[in-house]
Structure 1
């Protein structure tokens, strides 16, 4: 009886062996992606991936945002012009509703780093190319309204206008009320989720926009959502099952032989 049970367990171990090897390889590969290992990500060049890590300075170091001058790894700003639209109805019952147009916007295009939680932000990093990216949830670090100058009335100097990057353009319709400046930043140390494709540039792994699409950058996500790798559970379960079958089968087989 012991021989039969031991033999059955050894057969089960033989069947589980290739499955265990495959499971372990999958887990280690996924772990390399989760831990943002450049060598692992380089082997997935061109594949669409979602990576989560800690924002770190890029090759140029920590950036300074254009308007507020805050330390960051990425920044973007927009200028809105608030105005009274031309109202064709000039009767006493006419109601004027203010409107606004975006007349300038800019996003930094410097590479920034991404490292696994607990890793050295100045050590081995994966880089992110944010050129033309779509960002969701960056920190609004500045929002300021500046009234248009009025004849004979002292107003606060518009010290932000000279810091705006790119052209200020648009159709200046109606009567200007004020200009609104907004700026967003991603600071070093913030948790960031990036969806894009890895590419190798000059020996460095850079996450870029997929062909025909945009890189998605999501700051301040919940890291807990990405901490349960299903491959690990699968690999450990297979390894445990293989070990139990192999050890128990060998022991029972030896006992069966010795008793017999």
Structure 2
């Protein structure tokens, strides 16, 4: 009987989590539909006009900007693992290991598991040049980019000396020794210079120049290599899939709890 209650509660918890994700996807979709795509020159005009009512540094306007990624004046970034020139990067390093347990009858059970050792999004600002040739700064603030270009997806077996190997080169065991390690996987994504971007965020002059970044006080911030239409369609599909998950998990949870009362 208690098993029905436990599994019923798990399904209801899944329904609650899926409902929250569904609402977020719907909110993002509504934000994209209700926000105007503006050229950078229009934002500069709005910023200049705002000086009559707000001081410099306090201009804020939610908008969408479309254009191509451009490196900062210091030059492009170099991604951490592959050294690829880019304006933004993300990498993940994971350890793969085997966990050995013994059951009550003495049999040996091996489970394959993973743990994340390092995971980083770049924070450096870069530019977006719109279709009219005007440039605006983009502050990613450590946020993820939607659909970046994957440049590394590699697994390296555990080296005999105990440290990880990366692309055939043995590295020092900076992560500490772990029994059962079978290897390390490396993944890296970049946004190369010249890649077309769709951005939803807040245009502001907090840094002294016109930038677009995550809105202060909450709000949606999307940086994507896909078009606005593609991003919208993705959010619609996610919302539809999650709505089915909410309905199915909630029904399954209620049925199981009902069976628990009847058992």
TM-score over 0.5 (shorter chain): yes
| Match for residue 180 of structure 1 among 149, 168, 185 | 185
Q: Deviation per CA, 1:64-102, whole angstroms, max 9, x where unpaired? A: 212111111111111111111232438686552311111
| Alpha-carbon distance change, 89 to 107 in structure 1, aligned in 2, over 3 angstroms | same
| Alpha-carbon distance change, 212 to 48 in structure 1, aligned in 2, over 3 angstroms | same
Structure 1 unaligned segments of length 5 or more: list them.
Answer: 1-29, 163-167, 227-260
| Match for residue 222 of structure 1 among 223, 227, 250 | 227
- Structure 2 distance, partners of 1:41, 1:95, is 65
Q: Deviation per CA, 1:155-177, whole angstroms, max 9, x where unpaired? A: 77754968xxxxx76x9865111
- Structure 1 distance, partners of 2:144, 2:219, is 6
User: Between Structure 1 and Structure 2, whose CA radius of gyration is higher?
Assistant: 1
TM-score normalised according to structure 2 size: 0.58
- Structure 1 distance, partners of 2:142, 2:219, is 7
| Match for residue 133 of structure 1 among 143, 148, 151 | 143
Pairwise CA RMSD: 3.4
SS at match of 1:34: coil
TM-score normalised according to structure 1 size: 0.58
Contact 1:139/1:186, CA 8 A, preserved across alignment: yes
Match of 2:92 in 1: 78
Match of 2:38 in 1: 34
| Alpha-carbon distance change, 185 to 156 in structure 1, aligned in 2, over 3 angstroms | closer
- Structure 2 distance, partners of 1:126, 1:42, is 13
- Structure 2 distance, partners of 1:217, 1:159, is 37
- Structure 2 distance, partners of 1:194, 1:146, is 36
- Structure 2 distance, partners of 1:46, 1:144, is 42
- Structure 1 distance, partners of 2:171, 2:217, is 34
- Structure 2 distance, partners of 1:156, 1:135, is 25
Structure 2 unaligned segments of length 5 or more: list them.
Answer: 1-35, 51-58, 232-263
Match of 1:235 in 2: none
- Structure 2 distance, partners of 1:58, 1:49, is 22
Q: Using the TM superposition, give the Cα deviation of residue 113 of structure 1 relative to its aligned residue in structure 2, in angstroms.
A: 0.5
